[in-house]
Structure 1
Amino acid sequence: MDENKQSIFRDIPRDLSDEFFEVIASSGDVKIERIISRGHTSPQTGWYDQAQNEWVMVLQGEGQLTFSDGRIVTLVAGEHIHIPAHCKHKVSWTKPDTDTIWLAVFYT
């Protein structure tokens, strides 16, 4: 068995009172992260305003992103979006009764 082999769908924490963030891999200017939400949203005030570009995909579940320009984008399993650096956004909704698993890649 390959000791490096892992599944993105395994080892999901039972207690998801807080959204779960896990860095899967990183090197230089690239970081790959697994995010697990269950009804979580971003804080009511403020926006994510990241110095890096972000490519994000929903692998399971469903989520909604709101952008500071008023756009709302719903992503379901298999859908992805590119968010340029400093494009202000937030997670405005995730399914409350299902684990939403996001795969995010941050890069410059």
Structure 2
Amino acid sequence: MTAKAYWIARVTVTDPAAYSGYQALAPEAFAKYDARFLARGGETVTCEGPEWQRQVIIEFDNLAQARACYASAEYQAAREQRKDACHAEIFIVEGV
């Protein structure tokens, strides 16, 4: 059985109006690659390290699918919309 994969993102929005362009485009990429949101926003408790405004965990069926979503034209167009609208760290990790 292939291990699932996860995007883990930490985001602080600095320009909500500009960030809305990302929010309008990103769902197309996530739908195309069958992404499932496990956590998006909501209350966060930072135990160690810097605080971020939003935490996001997105599940994919496998690592190849998660990587393909990030590299897709659809996601890269969305990413372009958020580049000056937030601070973000995004990781892709393979599950166990």
Shorter-chain TM range is 0.3 to 0.5
Query: So what's the TM-score if we normalise by structure 1?
Result: 0.33
Greater RCO (Cα-Cα under 8 Å, separation 6 or more)? 2
Q: More helix by proportion, 1 or 2?
A: 2
Which is higher, the Rg of structure 1 or of structure 2? 1
Q: More strand by proportion, 1 or 2?
A: 1
Query: So what's the TM-score if we normalise by structure 2?
Result: 0.35
